[in-house]
Structure formats: C-alpha cells, structure tokens
Structure 1
C-alpha cells in the first residue's frame, strides 16, 4: 500500500488524505446516520468516523513514523514522534446531518503542509507551507485572496469565551460593519479556505489558541501561505498568546475589522 504514495511530499500526502476523507463524506451523504453523542450538544456520525479512518489510512501508509491527532479517535502513534498530523474529518457535522453540504475535511501537519477538501465541489485547497493552491478537475491554481466580495463569515457557535468583552454577534450590529461588509454565517471552517481563495473578504471567530486545533490548523495554514493577514481577535499572533481568529484578505480589511472588534469590546467592557 505504501508504494502508491512513494515520492509524495507532505502537501501531496495532505491532499490525498483529505480527498480520501471527502470521498467517504460524499458517499454517505443523505443516509440516515446514527449520532454519537459527544456532550454539550456536540455529536459525530458514522461519516465522521469512517472519513477519519480513511484519512489516517493514507497518513499511516505514507508517513508511518508520524503521530496523528484525530477529532474522533484522539492521539495515535508514537508519543515521541517528531511530527504530528491534525485531522478533522468532517467540519460542519450538524450541517451535514441535516442535509446541508457546507462541510470541510481538514488535514494539517503541525507547522507544515495542509489541505482542506470540499467533498461536494470537488475542490481541494492545499499548501506546502509556502504557497497555497486549489486543485479542481486535475488542474492546480494558485490562491489569490481579495476583499472584492465584501463578504465576511462570522462564526456564531457557542461557547463565547471572550464574553462579555467580545461577542461575534455584536460585530454584526456595528454601523461600520454593515456599511462596508455583508455578513455570512457558516458552521464550517471551509470559510477559511474561501478567504484564501478570494471567495470571502474575511473570517472571524472567538476562541482560545486555535493554531493547534484540528478544526482550524489547516485553514489557518492555507490563509497564511496565501498571504492573508491572520491574527487573534486581540490582534496578537496566532498561537498561545492570541485569542480566536481574524483572517482577512488584506491589511485594510483586517484593520477595519480589528477597529470594529476593539470598539465593540470597549463598549461592552
């Protein structure tokens, strides 16, 4: 099995793995799938579990010495492994479970290559850590962020760790926001790939350190490699210092959003 992956670089492994997961997600779409309760209103389905197995199968075959941290299966592989893959096999499970196709399959090597697959468009967004591209119908195109759409995705899912100082919903009520941007609300990190690809002007979410999150690592890597401006909602670099995430197509968009976030935070404080 491993011979089929001979010669693949890390970006190639991430891309093949994400596509393998996406194939499972697409194949199981529309079926009645049992829910696996994870507590606090969160759940997984058979599609999450099977897609993760497919992804890990590729990684195991291509990089047998690497460790994996899966959203469903947890940590696997040698504890002392120098490299670790972060796997979110189905981001947007609630969307998927109710027949909505807005989902993503995320695969990222910590600090390196990453891929985000859209199971239904057939697009796979990927990066080697330096450049970012999208593969569709066998052709690769370099990602080019742009604020032209003026569409900003805002994650409104709880919990709200920065409340009352910052609530994402408050951003939507800012006069400057509605004058300059148009909000979109999604429940999948596919929106980060859209920022990198120029389909969205920005993405905003609350939270803690998202740099090592299986949900966000691949999308963050794509945005950074594509040349987006990526910080926490407090303006700090992504990592243990920063909180949440603001990924913008350019400096102007980022500065505008940060000024709005800051003003809403000071208003509520």
Structure 2
C-alpha cells in the first residue's frame, strides 16, 4: 500500500505520512510505554519512536531522494538533498503519557505541503502550500476558514522563556484588555495551530526562536499561511532566521490587538 503513494503529489504524501503516524499513536494509546529520557524533564515514548518509523516508511517509499529531519531520529538522507521533510510524530507527548488525547502528528515539506493529524478525532488538516483543507475519515474535504469568532486564544506557557523579561506569555494573560477581548486556552500541543486555521481558535501565541523550520511548528505554520491567517513573530516581524516566537491570528484585527497588548507589557 505504501508504494501507491509514490506517484502522488506532496500534499497526498504528507497526508499519508501523518495518517500513518496517527494510526500508531491511536493504537498504542493507554498502554504502558517505555520512556526515553531527553533531559530537562522532557522524554519520548515508544509511541513517538514507532510513529516516526511509520511516517518514514511512507516518505521513503514516496520520496526516496528527499532528506528527513525527525524529532526522534534526527537528520536522515543525503546532506545535499534539495528537499527536506520535517516530522514531529507525536506533539504533546506529556499529554499522551498521562492519558490526555490532546496531541498532533506533524509532517511538513520545508516551504511546501504539510499535514497535521489528530489521531483521536480522525481529522487531518492539509495544505499543498497554497490552499488548506480538512479531511475527515479520509474522504471529506472542506476548506479551512479562519475566524476570530470563538475569541479563544491558545498561549503556550511551556519553558524555556528566551524573550523574558521583555516578553512573558503569562503576562499577556494578565493584561486587562485580554480578559475583555479574549478567553485563554493552554493545550500544550501544536494542534492548536490547526485549530486557528480551521476557525476553532482566534489566535495562538508562543515564545521561542525561529520556529519556521521547527519539526514542531512547520506544518502548523504552513496550514495557517495557506488558510489566510496572519503569521508573525512575537515582535510582529516575519517568521524566519531573525524571527522570535510566533503569533498566529485569524485576522488582522485580532493580530493587531494581541500585538498592542504584548508591546504594552514589554
């Protein structure tokens, strides 16, 4: 079955990879899994490793000449490969390990197609780099439509905090105008980025360095851009090598409000 993806477009390959990883994550959910210590309180599980292997099988069969950067396996493939896939097989490992289903499987071609799979809803959020859509149960496609209507803003509160003291995400939540305009959510997985693209969240905010090439964030950023969201760093500058963190909003008004609050706190 894997070989059938070989002639597919990149969006189909990304979708197939994300679905393959999601099947592993779903199958191993609730089991007692070995943990692999990464230091500083972080760890991977057997599900992370096996899901990445399943994704790699799809990518190798469909795109054997491409390189891959995996969260667990690191860089693989030719160093001079023209194309690179970014794979986060289980975003939300801490959630998953304690029986929380808020996780995502992220597969992205750098500067190209991407897919984010929710292993437990059966949804896959997909983009070919130009348009973005939601696939349910492998068959139904619906365009992703960002909207600020929910007023829900996901804020990543996980350390480290590289921009402190100038910017702390927790300070944004304490801003008086934030409470008037929005309601906070903290899901601890980049599935929240897909929710912004789909209109289920008004915005997402996280600190950090350049996240555009991160295995954790690349797929979600690609989805949001293709869906028409406003995507910048926490300083309002375009994401990239000089960027810091991420502010993704459903529309320009929401983005502007958040930026004014963040600048006010700093």
Q: Any idea what SS the aligned residue of 1:95 has?
A: helix
Q: In the TM superposition, what is the alpha-carbon distance from 1:6 to its structure 2 partner? A: 3.5
Q: Any idea what SS the aligned residue of 1:176 has?
A: helix
Residue 139 of structure 1 pairs with residue 147 of structure 2: no
Q: Residue 14 of structure 2 contacts residue 107 of structure 2 at CA under 8 Å; is this kept in 1?
A: yes
Equivalents in 1 of 2:36, 2:91: separation in Å?
A: 15
Aligned to 1:184: 185
Aligned counterparts, 1:5-16, within 5 A: 5-16=5-16
Aligned to 1:110: 110
Equivalents in 2 of 1:104, 1:211: separation in Å?
A: 17
Equivalents in 1 of 2:2, 2:186: separation in Å?
A: 41
Aligned to 1:219: 220
Equivalents in 2 of 1:231, 1:198: separation in Å?
A: 18
Q: Residue 6 of structure 2 contacts residue 63 of structure 2 at CA under 8 Å; is this kept in 1?
A: no
Aligned to 1:84: 84
Q: Residue 153 of structure 2 contacts residue 201 of structure 2 at CA under 8 Å; is this kept in 1?
A: yes
Residue 37 of structure 1 pairs with residue 29 of structure 2: no
Q: Any idea what SS the aligned residue of 2:30 has?
A: coil
Count residues with an aligned counterpart.
265
Q: In the TM superposition, what is the alpha-carbon distance from 1:239 to its structure 2 partner? A: 0.6
C-alpha RMSD of the superposition:
0.7
Equivalents in 2 of 1:139, 1:82: separation in Å?
A: 33
Q: In the TM superposition, what is the alpha-carbon distance from 1:7 to its structure 2 partner? A: 2.6
Aligned to 1:75: 75
Aligned counterparts, 1:238-253, within 5 A: 238-253=239-254
Equivalents in 1 of 2:191, 2:96: separation in Å?
A: 13
Equivalents in 2 of 1:61, 1:195: separation in Å?
A: 32
Structure 2: runs of 5 or more not aligned? none
Aligned to 1:49: 49
Q: In the TM superposition, what is the alpha-carbon distance from 1:241 to its structure 2 partner? A: 1.6
Aligned to 2:234: 233
| CA shift digits 1:93-136 (9 cap, x unpaired) | 00000000000000000000000000000000010000000100
Aligned to 2:130: 130
| CA shift digits 1:209-266 (9 cap, x unpaired) | 000000000000000000000000000001112100000000000000000010111x
Pick closer, same or farther for the CA change 1:48–1:2 going to 2, 3 Å: closer
Equivalents in 1 of 2:6, 2:264: separation in Å?
A: 52
Aligned to 1:154: 155
| CA shift digits 1:22-65 (9 cap, x unpaired) | 00000000001111000111000000000000001000000000
Equivalents in 2 of 1:100, 1:175: separation in Å?
A: 31
Q: Any idea what SS the aligned residue of 1:54 has?
A: helix
Residue 24 of structure 1 pairs with residue 24 of structure 2: yes
Equivalents in 2 of 1:91, 1:174: separation in Å?
A: 29
Q: In the TM superposition, what is the alpha-carbon distance from 1:2 to its structure 2 partner? A: 5.6
Structure 1: runs of 5 or more not aligned? none
Aligned to 1:64: 64
